[in-house]
A and B are shown apart, each in its own frame.
Chain A
Amino acid sequence: MAAAEHRLADVVAIACAEAFRGDGEIFGSGMGTLPMLGARTARATFEPDLMVSDGMAFYVDGDLPIGGTDKVIEGWIPFRSVFDTLWGGRRHVMMGASQIDRHGNTNISNIGDWKQPKVQLLGVRGGPGNTINHAVSYFIPRHTSRVFVEAVDMASGIGYDRAGELSEWVQENHRIPRVITNLAVMDFETPDRRMRIHSVHPGVTPDDVVANTGFDLVVPDDVPLSRGPTAEELAILDHLDPKGLRFREVPDPEPASA
């Protein structure tokens, strides 16, 4: 097999950036390396009005590399302002999930029974408020059927079925644009808002994705390939992530044995 045209982490980074396309002048908030890189790449290229933070308490101008300290601060966003911004809807967050189901319910709280969990994770954090107020995308570095489950043990983030039982306001504001993994990009663009494959990364088949998903995934007849970065975008990725942290979070796949 010929060498891949793009490295997997670069494809994933572009997929993360693409999730923010069309967002305009709102807070593009990324939790973790790839989501943060995605938001900053979107801002540096096709989404110039997007606002990004340093992950602490400031909006930063310019193309600040991940972990960079030479910041141009353009605004102050302490946690209280984050809450105001997210309740006001001017935010799109990309965060992780330890479990996700076909409706986009997610869990970062605990595995097993909540009363005495098998594994305690973080707690629900801001998941309930995020998902009910604005767009929430997910980045999951390892796509497995342990993460893509039939039912989440604790709904820290609400999916389309739970949102569907709430007010019209909620249904208008609740949105899960993308779920991005090391195998594929998923969305919920189906009539019943079930998770479907949006694109597969180069070298991955829809069957591979299905095999690593613990529920029935909607597979369109034609599944496109996730795009890799343009030469210009690749230069931007290298600028924004000079230490190559993305390759640690999304390693190159093992070459198929001959």
Chain B
Amino acid sequence: MSKLTTEDQAVATLESGMTLGIGGWGSRRKPMSLVRALLRSDVTDLTVVTYGGPEVGLLAAAGKIRKLVYGFVTLDSIPLEPHFRAARQGGTIPELVEYDEGMLQWGLYAGSLRLPFLPTRAGLGSGVMDVNPDLKTVASPYADGEELLAVPAIRLDACFVHMNRADARGNAQFLGPDIYFDDLWLNATDVGHRFVSCEKVVPTENLLDEGTFHTLRINRSMVDGVIEAPRGAHFTSCEPDYDRDESFQTEYATAARDPEEWAAFVATYLSGSEADYQEAVDGRS
């Protein structure tokens, strides 16, 4: 059964107040076309969980984030995300959960395994404990008796990831150097709102044309909707299909530092459809 859909149809199934996981890492292979569809929608009041990149900046600037769960937010080649900085320094994101990167993985993994928590040492003694007073520790029941941090499971109502290839049923493939944690995001999400966008939808029998079977880490039982989104990760990187668009990212970051320039950026790039966006990107001199 085909699960092909569009960004706007996918977003139309979401509701305000949901917990949304976003795959990728920093400014790498982010499901940006889905994020842009979210920006066009009325969906708001979201809990966003992510290894954050520009999607955090965009959603924060649009006032859609009620709670953010993150280990970092960065544009990689531009270390500090300007909209995220402004949101943090202006106190406009009501609730924040700042974790160690590995804690976030552990929370997702616990969620995907339907466990209440997973133990780790990462985070113990650090500022993460100071700013998340609800975190609990657990004593090892074995002879060592060591006190460990119990990272609570993260379950997601919905998630977006962007892949290089997928078939129409949701078997999906990464062709770049790193899957990041994209399989975990899908596994930690309830059935119904697990969306994979991809550069190209291919017939199932062609999935191994461009990569070995090792790249098939996402199978169709993990996916509810597939969106063909060529250049859908723009302006983040999507190796080997394309690198990060550094010049566009610089334009984004520059505009994000100034309200007037930002209004112009929104008018140019973010006021129409995904096709309008891609056309505006192509039209840059």
Contacts and interface: CB of A to CB of B under 8 A. Distances in A.
* Pairing of A with B: yes
Interface string B76-105: 000110001100111100000011111101
B101 to A, nearest CB: 5
B121 interface: yes
Q: For chain B, which range describes its interface: under 10, 10 to 19, 20 to 34, or 35 or more residues?
A: 35 or more
Contacts of A124: 71-72, 98-100, 126-128
A123 B102 contact: no
Contacts of A86: 102
B74 interface: yes
B89 A117 contact: yes
B125 A165 contact: yes
A159 to B, nearest CB: 9
B71 A83 contact: no
B89 A119 contact: yes
Interface string A58-79: 1000000000000000001011
A128 B126 contact: yes
Interface in A183-213: none
Contact of B178 (A57, A117, A122): A57
B71 A126 contact: yes
B79 A122 contact: yes
Interface in A99-158: 107, 109-110, 114-129, 131-133, 152, 154-158
A86 B102 CA distance: 10
Contact of B127 (A58, A78, A114, A120): A114
A158 B146 contact: no
Interface string B179-190: 111000000000
A87 interface: yes
Interface string B1-41: 00000000000000000000000010000000000000000
A123 B71 contact: yes
Given A116-B88, A129-B101, A123 B124 contact: no
Given A120-B89, A132-B124, 4 more contacts: A118-B89, A120-B88, A126-B100, A166-B147
The 4 closest A-B pairs by CB, nearest first: A129-B122, A57-B177, A123-B72, A128-B126
16 contacts: A57-B177, A79-B178, A79-B181, A80-B179, A116-B89, A118-B89, A124-B100, A125-B71, A126-B101, A128-B123, A128-B127, A152-B127, A156-B126, A158-B125, A167-B147, A169-B144
Interface of A: 56-58, 76, 78-80, 83, 86-87, 107, 109-110, 114-129, 131-133, 152, 154-158, 162-163, 165-167, 169-170
